[in-house]
Amino acid sequence: MQITLLGTGCPVVHSDRRGAATMVEGGGARVLVDCGSGVTQRLVEAGTAGAAVDALFLTHFHTDHLVDFYQLVISAWHQGRDRPWPVYAPRPVLDHIEQIMAAWEPERAQRIAFEQRTSITGLELEPHEITGGDRITIAGMEIGVVEVDHGPVAPAFGFAFHADGQKVVHSGDTARCDALIEAGQGADLLVHEVMIHRDAPPGHHRSAATMDNVASYHTLSSEVGGVARDMGAKALALTHIVPPNANRAALLAEVAKTYDGPLIVGEDLMRFDLDARSVIWHDAHLRAL
């Protein structure tokens, strides 16, 4: 299996970290998890395109995980996508993207008519509502759906991907979640969100109460190592890094206090090759797993 971190950021805009998005490849399938800001550009930078994605999985109803959905659909169509989009998501997310498609329908109709487009199959959606405990098969990949704890945002999901005799777990956004730990036992790679609460101080538009509430539905840097340890994960990659300009060395040192396996602070376009047990980033090939 190969996993590419397309976007490792959060709602706070940062030039090095695009919005939440991860590509998982294995068993002859290419699956995209979330479509945050910049995902279409990152797909091209990663050597592929939206047109080549077999299915889209959306974790929950938050802007930073959804904002480029329509851009993904339209750009893939311009890239020659000639098959519908299978979209697996919670009901609130499916309702939202159906509204987005409806809002842009007049523009699509005008473009199709004037440009005399003959193929519109790539603009069609195949929506699938997901619930915790579902198991979905895409080619030779099986995806287990795990309901996680993202506070008032419910339902929210993480995923366990199985292909080629390997397992990858993606947390989505969540506080520490025992159901995810149980589902991920023995994972070859855990891709997990993290928040460094001390590095996200209150400001003129964020009170202390605001930051405490945000921290309550994310996994803190003091906790995420314990999640990986209790899961028995063979490697841990951190993503959805809050704040995006967090001190990487300090983050590694803190997480390593409770997890002694291979540990990586994720970066945009970082690729994990589970067969080679390595990480590829900016043309550097590092044996890290």
Q: What is the pTM of this model?
A: 0.95
Q: What is the pLDDT along the chain (289 residues), one digit of tens a residue?
A: 999 999 999 999 999 999 999 999 999 999 999 999 999 999 999 999 999 999 999 999 999 999 999 999 999 999 999 999 999 999 999 999 999 999 999 999 999 999 999 999 999 999 999 999 999 999 999 999 999 999 999 999 999 999 999 999 999 999 999 999 999 999 999 999 999 977 555 555 677 888 888 888 899 999 999 999 999 999 999 999 999 999 999 999 999 999 999 999 999 999 999 999 999 998 666 666 6
Element (H, E) at 45: helix 39-45
* CB 63, CB 11: distance < 8 Å: yes
Q: Where are the domains of the chain?
A: 2-286
Of 190, 186, 173, 169, nearest to 237 (Cα)?
Answer: 190
In CATH, the architecture of 2-286 is 4-Layer Sandwich (3.60)
Q: Residue 226 has which token pair?
A: 């314990």
Q: By C-alpha distance, which of 70, 76, 62 is closest to 20?
A: 62
Backbone angles phi and psi of 209, in degrees to 5: -65, -40
Question: What angle (nearest 5°) sits at the alpha carbon of residue 268, between those of residues 189 and 239?
Answer: 45
Q: How far apart are CA 225 and CA 215, in angstroms?
A: 16
Contact in structure between 239 and 193 (CB atoms under 8 Å): yes
